[in-house]
Structure formats: C-alpha cells, structure tokens
Amino acid sequence: MTLYEIKQKIEILLDKYQKNSGTVKGFDILFEYVDFLKSEPYTANLLKPQFEYAQTQIVQLDEYITKNNCFKEVPNVHKIMEFKNISEVPMHKDMLAVGLEQLKNQEHANMSQILPMAITQLVMLYEGMGRIKEQLKNKEEIDDKLNILQELPTSTLRVKVGEELNSIPFAVFAKTNLLISAKYILDKIDIEELSEETKKEPWFDKINSVLCFQNKQIKITLKNDKPLDHYILEAIFSKNDLSEQTDFVEIAEDTLKEEYNGKWERFRHACDKLNQKIFKATDNQVSDFIEYTTGKTGWCKVKQKYQ
C-alpha cells in the first residue's frame, strides 16, 4: 500500500471505532486495527520495536499469573488491582516508575514512553479477541476467562500502587491506546509525505512501487509480484544522474540477478507498458516518459524533458 492508502485505512478504522467505542464490536475493530498494523509492511517495520516490547511484557505477565496462581476463577474486572509498590507490578515496571516520578514533578511523558505501553495493551486485546474469534469460528463455547471482554467495555480500570489509586473507564483506556498509536503512525506518514513533496520530481518509491511525477502517485505494481517495468524504474532511479542510460543487460544482471542472453524484446515491451501506465495516469498527456533503443545493446532512460 502507498502511504496515502495506509493513512486512509487507519482513518477509516478510527472512525469505525469512534462509532462503536465501549462495545464488543469496538474490540473487533481494535482487532482489525492491530491485525492491519502487524500485516502491513510499512507499519510492521515502523512499530517493530514496540511489538517486540509488547511480547516481552506479555511473557512477564504470563509468568506473574503462573507464579501467583492468578485466574483460578473468572477474573473480576471491577476489582481494584492492588500492589504494594512498582516492583510488584507485572508489566512496564521501568516506564511506570519514570511516569510516577514525572507525575510528582508535574512533567509530561513523551511518545517514546507511552507508545510501547499503548501497543502492548492493544496487542493483549488483539490476542484475546483473536482467541474468541477462533472459538466462535470452530463453534466452541467461549472460555469463561475470555468472556470478561463482554464486561470490559463498561468497566473501570482501577489500579492501586501503594496508597495511590488511579482509575479510568476501560473504554477510555482502550480508545486512548488506539489514538496514541494512530497519532504516532499518522504523524510519521505526514512527515514523510512532506519530505516527499520537497523532492524533485520525478522520483521512484521502490518499496511501494510508486512513481511520483507531475504531482501524481502512479502505482506501478498492481499485484503482489513486481512486474519487469517496476525493475526498469528501480534500475533507472538507482543512478544519481537520470540522463544516464540504463542498459537492458544491466537491468537483467544487476537488478534482476539473471542472465540477459540478448533477450531485449521483453524489455522493450516492458518499456511500452510503462509508458502506457504513465500515459493513462497523466490523463493522456505523457506518452513518452521512457526513452529506449532496441536490439541486444538496447537501453532505456527517462526522456530528457521529464528529468
């Protein structure tokens, strides 16, 4: 997906959640949201440290539950969770300690502190909702311990550390975690898009297979497998000078990592296909973006007037 499409998807999910906040349906939208973040290459890479942190914290929580024989019975989501001090809290010990100190000094936490915790809570809801969806799919009776998700939307999360009691409606807690993560991603995309706008066109985003030309984002790869025209642009734009020609043999051996064997016809067809895509995307204005020659020594480049 392009950055614009990722941004659109997140904004749609935010809107859906706003309409279903405080309901079990809201949890299903959170599941869809986290599933998207984990499966979309851009967000998965962006949030990789936070997802890794979440897994370490969930492991610590599981160890705490096993060690203290928690959840022998169905958990009471309305009960106050009490800890003598931060060292007893099963998750986020270091970050919570810093946060409490900041609170005393009337300081604000920064994104690097709150984002890992927000992602952790979202992943926990995602995994719990995932187990419920699997049980429903298999027509199994939902585990009593997972049934607490039905009560969570209307419950209040209350945690007491020492003498200090903190409480927040769970629906607000879940929404806050969602908004924190979404803000981080959308801000990153906005910064990248702003940076892209300052780049001299044309340029090629090889990760998302998008050619930026005449204030348009032209999608080159429309399916999972990248076509030859994608690799032609990748080779051309890998050079510092767009006026420099790129030989077909160079694309075959250096970019595709395969033998050329003088088969220039496929490269000519790919150049034609590329020009057709750009012609259509520019409202039939530009039909000769790629200039090329034919034969075994054939080459291609961006036509001089578009450089």
Q: Tens-of-pLDDT digits for all 307 residues of the chain?
A: 788 889 999 999 999 999 998 788 888 999 999 999 999 999 999 999 999 999 998 888 877 767 766 554 545 555 656 666 666 666 777 777 676 676 677 777 788 888 998 999 999 889 888 888 888 788 877 665 556 666 777 777 666 666 766 777 777 888 889 999 999 999 999 888 776 655 567 889 888 899 989 888 899 987 778 899 999 999 999 887 888 999 999 999 999 999 998 889 999 999 999 999 999 999 999 999 999 999 999 999 999 988 8
Same domain, residue pair 167 and 48: yes
Cα–Cα nearest to 53, from 91, 88, 83: 91
Same domain, residue pair 119 and 231: no
Angle in degrees, CA 231, 6, 171, rounded to 5: 155
What pLDDT sits at residue 192?
A: 81
Same domain, residue pair 101 and 151: yes
Same domain, residue pair 20 and 156: yes
Question: By three-state DSSP, how is residue 147 classified?
Answer: helix
Cα–Cα nearest to 250, from 297, 303, 291: 297
Q: Rounded to whole angstroms, how far apart are CA atoms 281 and 260?
A: 30
Last residue of a domain, one of 171, 196, 221: 196
- What is this structure's pTM? 0.59
Query: Hey, how many other C-beta atoms are within 10 angstroms of the C-beta on 277?
Result: 18
Domain count, the chain: 2
Same domain, residue pair 218 and 184: no
Last residue of a domain, one of 146, 165, 196: 196
Beta strands in the chain (DSSP E): 81-83, 156-161, 164-169, 203-205, 210-213, 216-219, 246-247, 290-292, 299-302
What pLDDT sits at residue 74?
A: 46
What pLDDT sits at residue 196?
A: 62
Last residue of a domain, one of 161, 196, 231: 196
Same domain, residue pair 165 and 249: no
To the nearest 10°, the Cα dihedral for 273, 275, 278, 283? -110
Task: Tell whether the torsion through CA atoms of 259, 263, 268 and 273 is positive or negative.
Answer: negative
Residue tagged 């900041």 (tokens): 102
Same domain, residue pair 302 and 158: no
Beta bridge partners of 300: 246, 292
Q: Which range of residues forms the domain containing residue 189? A: 3-196
Same domain, residue pair 32 and 109: yes
Same domain, residue pair 211 and 289: yes
Cα–Cα nearest to 249, from 303, 296, 294, 301: 296
Same domain, residue pair 126 and 100: yes
Cα–Cα nearest to 42, from 9, 90, 76, 73: 9
Instruction: Dig out the tokens for 124 from the structure.
Output: 């926990």
Same domain, residue pair 216 and 295: yes
Same domain, residue pair 97 and 192: yes
